[in-house]
Structure formats: C-alpha cells, structure tokens
Amino acid sequence: MNNHLTDDSENLEAVKKILIVDDEPDVCEILKKVLEKNGFGADTFSDPLLALENFRPRSYDLLLLDIKMPEMDGFRLYQEMKKVDSSVKICFLTASEMYYEQFRKEEGFDELNKDLFLRKPIENEELIKEIKRILDSEPTI
C-alpha cells in the first residue's frame, strides 16, 4: 500500500470503502477478506437492522447487499440507506433467481439496472471486476 506517499485525506479518497450486509457470517467474513486483498476497505454486518443503525452518510462508496435476509430484505435496506446517503452506489448479491425476479418485478424495483445484480456464488476475480465497473460507472439511479 502507498500510505507513506499520501496524506490521510487522500488516502480516504483513494481507498474505496464497501459495506457488506449478508445474513451469512461466513459470506461476510470471506467477502471482506477478498475485497481487502484487492485494495478495498470493507465493513460487514450479518444483521441488516444493525447495519442500518450504524450507517452514516458519506462513509461508504458502495453497498454490497444480500437480498434474502431476516428482519429486513436487501431492497428495503437499500431504500432506507438511500435516505441516509443518496449518493452511495449499490450492488446486490443474491443466490436466487427467484428473489431477484420477484423483488425486481413484484416489489416495484424494476427501475433498478440489471447490471447491479450479481449472482452467488461468484469467483473472486469476477466479483472484483464487477465492483470496479460499478464504482467507475456514472450513478444510474
């Protein structure tokens, strides 16, 4: 890392921070590891309510959210977090086509770009590539 070449503020600019919310602790743990290995900063929550409670504006560049979770599903969590930070980027990671389709169509999230949905299980390289693509893209929503 280039910590010695940059000051703290620049460092904050350079290191993209990602918030992972997934009810599976193992998934949280391993994704955090993968992201950190690839130069991202990552925090994790396996309880969506706790994640929302601790969410502050401008603290993350990207939210990586599971969809099917107890207490609050990924879409609702996204809606709530958008209220806190309207500029944050979003990416869903789900293991099920059913939830993906159901939420997109029935729950009124069909305005969400299909590119924002990633499917579990995903290879590390693929995940990093997609995250970079989303971070580089203009906000679509």
Partner 1 sequence: MWNFYADTKSLTVPFAIKEVSKALSDANDRGVNFRFITEITKGNLTFCKNSVMKVAEIRHLGGIKGNFGVSDTEYISTSARLSVQNKVALDKEQTTAKEEEEAATTAAKTTSSLASLQHAVYSNVKEDIQQQQHIFEILWANAIPAEERIREIEEGLERVETVALKDSAEIARRIRKNIESSTELKVCSQPGGLELIYNNFFESYKEVLDNHRRGRNKGIRWITTINKDNEGVAKLILNEGVQLRHTKNLTPLSFSISNKEFQATAEKMEAGKMIKNLLVSTDPIYIDHYNSIFEQLWENSIDARDRIHDIKEGVDLSDIEVIPRSARTRVLYLELVKNAKEEILFIFPTSRAFIRQEKMGAIPAAIKAAQERAVKVRILVPYNEAVEDRLEPIVEEEELVPRKKEREPRRANYNADIDVRYIEEASGTLATILVVDRKASLVMELRDDSKTTFDGAIGLSTYSNSKAGVLSYVGIFEKLWNQIELYQQVSDAHERLKLHGRMQQEFINIAAHELRTPIQPIISTVGLLSSADHAMISRDELNHSINMIARNATRLKQLSEDILDVTRIESQTLNLRKEVYDLNEMVQDSIEDYKRNPAIRSNKEIKIESISHEDKIFVEVDRARISQVIFNLLSNAFKFTKEGGIVVSIGLDEKNNKEAVISVKDSGKGIDPEIFPKLFEKFASKSYQGTGLGLFISRSIIEAHGGSMYAKNNSDDDGRRGATFYFSLPVVHEREQQK
Return residues touching partner 1 (CB under 8 A): 23-24, 26-27, 29-31, 33-34, 37, 68-70, 94-99, 120-125, 127
CB of 80 to partner 1, least distance (A): 20
Q: Phi first, then psi: give them for residue 86, nearest 5 degrees.
A: -75, -15
Enter the DSSP assignment of 74. H
| Cβ distance to partner 1 smaller for residue 22 or 61 | 22
Q: How far is the CB of 132 from partner 1 (least distance, A)?
A: 16
Nearer to partner 1, 47 or 85 (CB): 47
Q: Which is nearer to partner 1, 11 or 41 (CB)?
A: 41
State which residue, 33 or 133, has the beta carbon closest to partner 1: 33
For residues 38 and 64, give the distance between their C-alpha atoms in angstroms, rounded to a whole number: 15
Our CB check for partner 1 shows the closer of 13 and 101 to be: 101
DSSP H or E run through 20? strand 17-21
Closest distance between partner 1 and the C-beta of residue 107, in Å? Answer: 16
Report CA 45 to chain centroid distance, whole Å. 11
Q: In whole angstroms, how close is the CB of 65 to partner 1 at the nearest point? A: 14
Task: Count CB-CB contacts under 10 A for residue 84.
Answer: 13
Region of 71 on the Ramachandran plot (φ > 0 left; ψ -120 to 50 alpha; else beta): left
The least CB distance from residue 69 to partner 1, in Å, is 7
| CA 103 and chain centroid, separation | 17
